[in-house]
Amino acid sequence: THSLLHIQHLSTYFDTDEGTVKAVDDISLHVRPGEIVCIVGESGCGKSITALSVMGLIEAPTGRIADGIIDFDGQNLLSLSKNHLRSIRGNDIAMIFQEPMSSLNPVITIGEQMSEPLIIHKKMNKKQAQKRVLELITQVGISRPEQIAKSYPHELSGGMLQRIMIAIAISCDPKLLIADEPTTALDVTIQAQILDMLREFRSQSDMSILLITHDLGVVAEMADYVVVMYSGKIVEEGEVVELFANPRHPYTQGLLRSKPIINQRQKELYSIPGYVPNPLELQESCYFHERCEHCMDICRTQEPPLRDVENGQKTACWLYEKEAAVHV
């Protein structure tokens, strides 16, 4: 199948007074129609920056896309004008964040905020939009839609607001939904309901989802395909069943050592000893080497390439040199 989203060799850098941070460093990934791809990793690994890069939300002058192609439905998003990109964003590509409050205007009613994209992208008139808003509110499992439409964001709970964000996101029938830690701030029960809902929308509409999370329970429940990031790089990727059964990269193995318990929220992802390296001090090496119990000489001086190992799984680790050679 063709890709809906094909990120190729994306690098996103931030220029700081101390130097350049390679927040995303030469990553490539596919999302196919109807597929749920999860990017997993600890905070600062580059997963959110990847999402913001796709959305065209990297802010100059500090942030910049240094290299790459973001092919969405046959066009390179990086070569589009600001206006063209804006017309895709919120329409063909929608995004939801961890904190719904940050995307909602506190002084405008929910109903009005939900109408706006329908009027702009779907060319509805006010009356049609209002009617659609009530349907959408019902669709995300909220009763008394009229009352909710008249409410202001602060009058609703976090779970309700996230449902509203999803309603806004799906209102224009996006081909791709990017969700950055959409349930992290919610309690376990609400989290499960929201994830169920996202899966259901995916199966009804063939919408693809790029889901960003640090939570392996969420990955286990949602993902078709998993991409593991560390220090701005993809260190391992594969089909979810394969990757959970056979994690090869020592980082992924560490992540999975604290087995995810489905429906139980995890505060801490895992406890691999050591710290993520300072992004300003990265040198040619495996960036995980200081935390890796299998570290060899080569790991300190050469970066392992991401290579096919088996069953479509890819791993960037010198331990698998022999396997990789067989599969090139």
* Contacts (CB under 5 A) with Mg ion, residues 218-257: none
213 binds Mg ion (CB under 5 A): no
Stretch that binds ligand SF4, among 7-15, 162-170, 205-213, 296-304 (CB under 6 A): 296-304
244 vs 288, beta carbon nearer ligand SF4: 288
Q: Which residues pair with 227 in a beta bridge?
A: 39, 237
288 lies in the site for ligand SF4, by CB under 6 A: yes
Q: Give me the count of residues in the chain.
A: 328
Tokens of 284: 């040619």
318 part of the interface to ligand SF4, by CB under 6 A:
yes
CA distance 98 to 105: 16
Q: Of Mg ion, ligand SF4, none, which one sits near residue 289, judging by CB under 5 to 8 A according to partner kind?
A: ligand SF4
Q: Where are the alpha helices (DSSP H) in the chain?
A: 47-54, 82-88, 110-121, 126-139, 145-149, 158-170, 188-205, 216-222, 240-245, 250-257, 297-301, 321-327
Order of strands, sheet of 225-230, starting from the edge strand that comes earlier in the sequence: 93-96, 176-180, 208-213, 36-40, 225-230, 233-239, 313-315, 307-310
CB of 319 to ligand SF4, least distance (A): 5
**Shortest distance (Å) from residue 108 CB to ligand SF4:** 49
Q: 103 near 70, Cβ under 8 Å?
A: no
Please give the structure tokens belonging to residue 119.
């009027």
Of 21-50, which residues contact Mg ion (CB under 5 A)? 48
For 82, other C-beta atoms within 10 Å of its C-beta total 8
Among 252, 289, 306, 314, binds ligand SF4 (CB under 6 A): 289
Given the complex with ligand SF4, which of 6 and 291 has the nearer CB atom? 291
Which residue, 221 or 303, has its beta carbon nearer to ligand SF4? 303
Examine residue 22 and tell whether it contacts ligand SF4 (CB under 6 A).
Answer: no
Cβ atoms of residues 66 and 11 within 8 Å: yes
- Would you say 305 or 312 has its CB closer to ligand SF4? 305
Chain contacts with ligand SF4 (rule: CB under 6 A): 249-250, 286, 288-289, 292, 294-296, 299, 304, 317-319
